[in-house]
Amino acid sequence: MARRSRFLSGQKINPSPIRKNATVTDLVERYFQAYNAGRLSEACQLFAGKMLDRDVTIGMSLTGALTPAGLGGSCIVPLMEAGFVDWIVSTGANLYHDTHFSIGHSLHRGSPFLDDRVLRKEAVIRIYDILFDYKVLLDTDDFYRTILWAPEFQMTMSTSEFHYKLGKYFAGRERLLKKPYKSILGTAYRCAVPVYTSSPGDSSIGMNVAETALYGNRCQFDVLADVNETAAIVLEAKQKRGRSGVLVFGGGSPKNFVLQTEPQIQEVLKINEKGHDFFVQFTDARPDTGGLSGATPSEAVSWGKIDPDKLPDTIVAYIDSTVAMPVMTSFALAKRKPRKLKRLYDKRESMMNRLRRAADLAKQT
């Protein structure tokens, strides 16, 4: 009898009928079997099975209009509260649009096939199939401009400090409301999760900071501090005998900002390191166009962004983040107990001191 090929050792494809009351866990473990459903299943199981071990520090990047679709309160907040995400790099737009819900506005389901000329006349904003009143933008702008004149914002700061100070206002507002919306920044403040924006001028929050600057506001972003702080977070994880994982929704600048921490450590600061230990990405970007959004974990190895020995613990699923994020969040919350919060924002100074010491030592060798 011929010897069975080692390539046939994988789990058998199960064609049995799906149960009418199948849970998300059932779908992930039993029915997402091939193609990008298979990759989504693998990503969920890698995240819940390995990445959520206590010694792993997890950075999450967010691009695309995720919060207008409700994913801030439904997924990102529960992940932070459970200790499943330790630091975040987000577009400013996701933080801005999350604010609409915090200040009591509503966004509505609609159609992507409406006449945008008519919408413009009726002062309705469209994000693909999400619709909301133009006044929502104006009120949110006013909300930010009012806060920005507070004394604590009259200085230059990293975006993590900026968002932490904003989060204090959000958290205070949420405490006063009977049925509060738990915002990303309010939750990040309570959980001491540092939140960065890699391009802080490229959003309505940055636009409102720019508007106040015209009238003497002294709020400024120290983007170089962001580069060093994020590198310090990763180095802290690795040098304390821990591991580093990245969870990427979309691509773009936030993806690069999460990943460039390792080249900053190895290439620029000359500190001996090997790259992130885990990499999970959900994207619709192709790798063959040369863009960062579609760049694979294997390509990232060549840059030192991913530890070459950990390449098997990397997964890319070519699937919409609005599908992947709820599935992964539900699966992780079902499979793992909450982790103790790392409260990395509270440790910024000590982490930066470690980074400086390691960089100084590297220069001497």
Q: Which of 105-119, 203-217, 307-321, 341-355 has the lowest mean pLDDT?
A: 307-321
| Domain coordinates in residue numbering, the chain | 39-364
Q: Give the model's pLDDT for residue 292.
A: 82
- In one-letter notation, the amino acid at residue 161 is E
Do 164 and 345 meet the contact criterion of CB atoms below 8 Å apart? Answer: yes
Confidence bin at 78 (pLDDT 50/70/90): very high
Tokens of 151: 């004394």
DSSP per position, 40-94: HHHHHHHIIIIITSTTEEEEEEE-SS-GGGTHIIIIIHHHHHTT---EEEE-HHH
Among residues 305, 315, 307, the alpha carbon closest in space to that of 281 is found at 315
Q: How far is CA 189 from CA 69, 184, 228, 300, 352, in A?
A: 22, 9, 21, 32, 20
Q: How far is CA 158 from CA 164, 194, 205, 348, in A?
A: 10, 10, 14, 11
Catalytic-labelled residue, pool 165, 182, 305, 310 = 305
CATH number assigned to the domain covering 39-364: 3.40.910.10
Q: pLDDT per residue over 135-148, tens digit each?
A: 999 999 999 999 99
Is 178 in the active site?
Answer: no
Distance CA 76, CA 85 (A): 8
Tokens of 334: 């079902």
Q: What does the mean pLDDT of the chain come to? A: 95
pLDDT exceeds 60 at position 243: yes
pTM score, whole prediction: 0.95
pLDDT exceeds 70 at position 187: yes
Q: Give the model's pLDDT for residue 180.
A: 86
Contacts of 232 (CB under 8 A, 6+ apart): 348, 351, 352, 354, 355
Among residues 209, 281, 269, the alpha carbon closest in space to that of 234 is found at 269
Distance CA 77, CA 85 (A): 9
Q: pLDDT per residue over 150-182, tens digit each?
A: 999 999 999 999 999 999 999 998 988 878 899
Q: pLDDT per residue over 247-287, tens digit each?
A: 999 999 999 999 999 999 999 999 999 999 999 999 998 88
The count of other CB atoms within 10 Å of the CB of residue 235 is 24
Contacts of 52 (CB under 8 A, 6+ apart): 58, 84, 332, 336, 339
Confidence bin at 217 (pLDDT 50/70/90): very high
The count of other CB atoms within 10 Å of the CB of residue 90 is 30
With a pLDDT cut of 70, the percent of the chain lying above it is: 99
Distance CA 146, CA 126 (A): 26
N- to C-terminal Cα distance for the chain?
60
Q: Give the model's pLDDT for residue 37.
A: 96
pLDDT exceeds 70 at position 1: no
- In one-letter notation, the amino acid at residue 214 is L
- Mean per-residue pLDDT for 101-121? 96
